[in-house]
């Protein structure tokens, strides 16, 4: 077991839910992440996600040293960006700041769990038409800061045609085949990552919520 998995297991064992949703999950009244989103219940405890998605994986996307001028002098902290996903339709992106790198990563990992969303997948590629959920159902566009990114459905076997950061996030979401096109200051990793996340969120926001259940 990795350090992080052990930490998660420990946290789950000691978990005393503070929210209504957390209590419902511990009492076994809600047993799937789909129910959480169908009911529109806000996720305010990371343990909710760890309980309902035990196969959740996480990847550190970016670590930056942030320096700030204060009255007491220069203060530096690390800012981490972490992505989580079950490689099967759920992905989250979060950030955290701390004086220690490890603490910044842990905070970002918690934030990513609280920001998790369902991704609608499909076969939106006219060259493919297999009907399986290996890609996205249609083209989506996302923005953050000065970055704009377009994700285009691709045929089975294509793989993820994207930069490293986009590949990691798309793979965590469970998207296997697609093209991407990016515009603007794409070397700004945080904005780039959030633009991808924004695009993926649109796979659901472009349709009515009742569509998600089936
Ligand atoms: Zn297909």
In this prediction, residue 1 carries a pLDDT of: 59
Quote the ligand 1 centre to 208 CA distance (angstroms).
Answer: 23
pLDDT in tens, 185-207: 989 999 999 999 999 999 987 65
Query: What pLDDT score was predicted for residue 10?
Result: 85
Task: Tell me how far the alpha carbon of residue 68 lies from the centroid of ligand 1, in angstroms.
Answer: 49
Q: Which of 22-31, 64-73, 170-179, 200-209 has the lowest mean pLDDT?
A: 200-209
Instruction: State the distance from the centre of ligand 1 to the C-alpha of 153, rounded, in angstroms.
Output: 9
Mean pLDDT, residues 172-181 taken together: 98
174 pLDDT above the threshold of 50? yes
Q: What mean pLDDT is reported for the chain?
A: 92
Question: How many angstroms is it from 66 CA to the middle of ligand 1?
Answer: 43
CA distance 43 to 156: 34
Q: Note the pLDDT of residue 72.
A: 81
Rounded distance, CA 41 to CA 180, Å? Answer: 32
Residue 89 φ/ψ region, left for φ over 0, alpha for ψ in the -120 to 50 degree band, beta for the rest = left
Taking a C-beta distance cutoff of 8 angstroms, is the pair 74, 68 a contact?
yes
Distance CA 120, CA 204 (A): 6
pLDDT for the residue 213: 52
**What pLDDT, on the 0 to 100 scale, is given for residue 206?**
65
Distance 36 CA to ligand 1 centre (A): 29
H-state helical runs in the chain? 3-13, 20-26, 33-38, 46-52, 101-114, 164-173, 189-205
pLDDT digits (tens, 9 = 90+) for 106-154: 999 999 999 999 999 999 998 998 989 999 999 999 999 999 999 999 9
Query: 178 C-alpha to center of ligand 1: Å?
Result: 10
């Amino acid at each position: 077991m990795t350090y992080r998995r052990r930490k998660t297991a420990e946290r789950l064992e000691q978990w005393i839910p503070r929210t209504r949703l957390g209590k419902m999950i511990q009492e076994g009244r809600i047993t799937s992440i789909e129910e959480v989103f169908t009911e529109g219940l806000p996720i305010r405890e990371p343990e909710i996600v760890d309980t309902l998605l035990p196969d959740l994986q996480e990847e550190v996307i970016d670590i930056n040293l942030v320096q700030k001028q204060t009255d007491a002098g220069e203060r530096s902290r690390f800012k981490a960006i972490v992505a989580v996903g079950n490689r099967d339709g759920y992905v989250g992106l979060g950030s955290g700041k701390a004086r220690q790198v490890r603490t910044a990563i842990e905070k970002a990992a918690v934030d990513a769990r609280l920001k998790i969303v369902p991704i609608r997948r499909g076969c939106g590629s006219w060259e493919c038409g297999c009907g399986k959920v290996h890609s996205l159902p249609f083209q989506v566009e996302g923005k953050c800061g000065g970055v704009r990114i377009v994700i285009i459905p691709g045929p089975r076997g294509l793989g993820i045609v994207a930069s490293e950061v986009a590949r990691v996030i798309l793979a965590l979401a469970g998207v296997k085949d697609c093209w991407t096109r990016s515009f603007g200051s794409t070397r700004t990793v945080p904005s780039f990552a959030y633009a991808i996340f924004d695009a993926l969120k649109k796979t659901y926001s472009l349709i009515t919520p009742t569509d998600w259940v089936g």
